[in-house]
């Protein structure tokens, strides 16, 4: 199983949730400030998988202003 984090505009949240539900995908909605520990765990899991280089992950975070 893979985890994908998607930033969705608030106005389109219901559309995407219905789309994911239609395709039987498990969803979880979090706010940026809601659970930083959860995001850190996901980052750690992703880094252990070695599918994406660590620097590429940090580059994406910097692009979106996410502090790790």
| Lookup: tokens for 42 | 């996901």
pLDDT for residue 27: 85
Give the residue with greater pLDDT, 34 vs 58: 58
pLDDT for residue 68: 63
Question: Domain-by-domain residue ranges, the chain?
Answer: 10-63
Which phi-psi region, left, alpha or beta, contains residue 38 (left: φ > 0; alpha: ψ -120 to 50)? Answer: alpha
Q: Using 50, 70 and 90 to split pLDDT, how confident is the model at 33?
A: low
| Mean pLDDT of the 22-42 span | 75
pLDDT for residue 45: 74
Question: For the chain, what is the mean pLDDT?
Answer: 77
| Mean pLDDT of the 24-52 span | 72
């Amino acid at each position: 199983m893979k985890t994908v984090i998607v930033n969705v505009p608030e106005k389109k949240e219901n559309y995407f949730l219905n789309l994911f539900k239609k395709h039987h995908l498990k969803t979880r909605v979090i706010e940026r400030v809601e659970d930083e520990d959860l995001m850190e765990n996901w980052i750690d899991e992703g880094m252990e998988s070695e599918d994406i280089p660590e620097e590429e992950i940090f580059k994406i975070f910097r692009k979106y202003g996410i502090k790790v």
